[in-house]
Amino acid sequence: MKDIYMNRELSWLKFNERVLEEAEDEKVPLCERLSFASIYQTNLDEFFMVRVGSLRDQMLVNQDIRDNKTNMTAKEQIDAILEAVQKLNRRRDDAYERMMEQLEKHGIRMVDFRTIGEEESRYLESYFDREIAPLISPTVVGKRQPFPFLKNREIYAVAELGTKAGKRRIGIVPSGGGMFERFIEIPSMEGCFMLAEELILHFIPKIFKGYCIKAKSLIRVTRNADIDADALYDEDLDYREFMADLIKQRKKLSPVRLELSREMDGSVVEILCKFLDLKATQVFRNEAPLDLSFVFTIQDKLRKNSGLFFHKLVPQKSPAFQEGRSMISQIREGDKLLSFPYESIRPFLKLLTEAAEDDSVVSIKMTLYRLARQSKVVEALIEAAENGKEVVVLVELRARFDEENNIAWSRQLEAAGCQVIYGLEGYKVHSKLCLITRKHEGQIEYITQIGTGNYNEKTARLYTDLSLMTANVDIGLNAAAVFQALTKGEVLEKSGCLLVAPKCLQNRVMDLIDEEIERKKAGEEAYIGLKLNSLTDKKLIDKLVEASKAGVKVDMVIRGIACLKPGIPGETENIRIISIVGRFLEHSRIYIFGKGERTKYYISSADFMTRNTVRRVEVAAPVLDENLKERLAAMFSTLLSDNVKARQEEPDGTYTRVVNAKDPVNAQETFYAQAYGAAISRPAASPQGSGT
């Protein structure tokens, strides 16, 4: 077989390169480019914490473990990652420098002591003495003062110190952590600012009096955050308290990266690497600040200059719903589909609130993965419980980096009388499923919501997601079976119309692909269309390759990782892969199988990653309403037509911008224009869909 696979980690780096391209793109408003630079850095932080950390653990356990697609060892992958990141970071530094130069034209300037006068220097020294020096806790590393613990992703000033006796020491000063204002304005120079860590580094001689400062730099350590909670869990422990302790442990895991803001003598770097158990290849020298989160403060100061930002877009009212009418009755009339962020999440929130107050509603069951800090979803569930309804909530405490937020919400839900489940042993629950059960006129009825994204009001304005609401009985019964399994600590062994991982999604998708292969062999039209965040599942990849070889046309819109190279003659020549990185984060998952009247449409919480298809509880729901099918088909066609923000994956695994002679199509802006148009022209009464 030809080289059709891409390594997962290197493919992810290509995704983050596409994010970086947005920071480099002069067509993107300046302040938005700052955001993309910060997102690039945040993405990279998490990548090192999770993926590089996991590879490092693999090396310690078994150096012969290999990637099942490219046969690379963990060491080979880490070496390739470090080399690629060095190159990408140089581009990040160049982009940052250009953005800073352009900001000066708009009255914002980052300065240092080489670019300010004596008056400003005196002010800053006074500021340092008054506001910062009393709060810092410097350390000189020695026999009686061991090397301090460096917190994950926090900034420290480090100096090589020389004693009068000619000995060398290392001095370390915590320079962040929120103890003092980071973004310091200089009153006598309007629009001029300095970062607190740069101020600390400059005055490090005042901190370490009696020493000769031979070299100094700011540093930042990234630590491994990859902990297998299930492997460590003792069933005799309270699971929520166990997870709280695990979060504390994660903050103390071994370093995987060291970043420097200045060149330092190699021997000093060696000393730092020795203390941190790092190799020289894991050290990165940055020109840009080690933490770019301050760019959002710059944005706040320039907010009045609308030309520096994307034009304001507000989620619109869905034409599917009519004001002043019961949400439940409208969903009973016909299936509804919300498309975020183009349409508002409010109809779903109204549905929950109505269910909490409706006497005919006997229970609400819901899976929660990532929630907003101020969650109206939780408020509605608490109200329902207080109104005497059965409320069953599965709160996934292992939602990485959201554990603390979820632990806090789980306590509030329990206190209100909700039955709270903390996930399943061995499986994360990643599905986005809500089931409202009613007793109406002596009959049991279900209102089921299945989504592609989290129940999070904030991300519903930033991520593209889909939310299906239906009164379909078969879907409701299948959803009820999912919740019944979850409350027993089990997974569904068989499913009906829903595709439910870990037992009934990967195999069902393979069957759907097989059907298209057989149709093609029989001389019929065959087609597969997929919108995903990532594609890594080798079984599904190989089945898609089989479909391509049979002549089935396969279109994929994959935002992030794609471990398959398209367009290779004899192998993947019938597969096209594009990635859209734009203003909003593409997050919805759509599966399309077939052509014409027999086309099947699904929306799903699951990517085609092994962790989703066989290691998590995920749900894909069929879209049965003909109007909604047409809507999904039009959405997918628009995504494939994007020639503004789309990049196409080439047979060698690289990505190039889609360039053609057609009229410009920015899919995300098109969808927003459609939402605005539909909201303006929405009829007074017009239920969406014909019911199922």
Question: Could you give the CA distance from residue 246 to residue 120 in angstroms, rounded to a whole number?
Answer: 46
Share of the chain above pLDDT 90, in %: 82
- Give phi and psi for 682, each to the nearest 5: -60, 135
* Stretch among 4-13, 131-140, 224-233, 525-534 having the lowest mean pLDDT: 224-233
* pLDDT value of residue 170: 94
* pLDDT value of residue 374: 87
* pLDDT value of residue 240: 59
373 confidence band (pLDDT: 50, 70, 90) = confident
Catalytic residue (one of 106, 202, 430, 587): 430
pLDDT at 250 over 90: no
- Of 359, 357, 399, nearest in space to 379 by CA: 357
Amino acid letter for position 559: R
Kindly report, residue by residue over 263-317, the tens digit of the pLDDT: 988 888 999 999 999 999 999 999 999 999 999 999 999 999 999 999 999 999 9
* pLDDT value of residue 405: 79
Share of the chain above pLDDT 70, in %: 94
Question: Could you give the CA distance from residue 386 to residue 390 in angstroms, rounded to a whole number?
Answer: 10
* pLDDT value of residue 398: 72
441 confidence band (pLDDT: 50, 70, 90) = confident
pLDDT averaged over every residue in the chain: 92
Kindly report, residue by residue over 377-424, the tens digit of the pLDDT: 999 999 999 999 999 999 887 766 667 777 888 888 999 999 999 888
- Of 137, 143, 203, nearest in space to 167 by CA: 143
- Give phi and psi for 360, each to the nearest 5: -80, -15
What mean pLDDT is predicted for residues 243-259? 71
What mean pLDDT is predicted for residues 226-230? 56
CA-CA-CA-CA torsion for 6, 10, 16, 20, nearest 10 degrees? -110
Helix (H) or strand (E) holding 678: helix 667-681
How far is CA 687 from its chain centroid? 34
Structure tokens at 237: 């422990």
What mean pLDDT is predicted for residues 614-635? 97
* pLDDT value of residue 634: 98
687 confidence band (pLDDT: 50, 70, 90) = very low
Per-state percent for the chain, helix, strand, coil, to nearest 5: 40, 25, 35
- Give phi and psi for 199, each to the nearest 5: -65, -45
Sign of CA dihedral 295, 297, 302, 308: positive
User: Exposed e or buried b for every residue in 509-531, given b needs 16+ CB within 10 A?
Assistant: bbebbebbbebbeeeeebbbbbb
Other CB atoms within a 10 A radius of the CB of residue 225 amount to 22
pLDDT greater at residue 651 or residue 254: 651
- Of 692, 541, 517, nearest in space to 622 by CA: 692
* Stretch among 392-401, 445-454, 565-574, 592-601 having the lowest mean pLDDT: 392-401
- Of 186, 88, 12, 109, nearest in space to 534 by CA: 12
Sign of CA dihedral 124, 38, 310, 99: positive
Structure tokens at 376: 């109206």
Kindly report, residue by residue over 656-676, the tens digit of the pLDDT: 999 999 999 999 999 999 999
Question: Could you give the CA distance from residue 1 to residue 679 in angstroms, rounded to a whole number?
Answer: 52
Kindly report, residue by residue over 33-72, the tens digit of the pLDDT: 999 999 999 999 999 999 999 898 888 777 788 999 999 9
- Reply yes or no on whether 430 is catalytic: yes
455 confidence band (pLDDT: 50, 70, 90) = very high
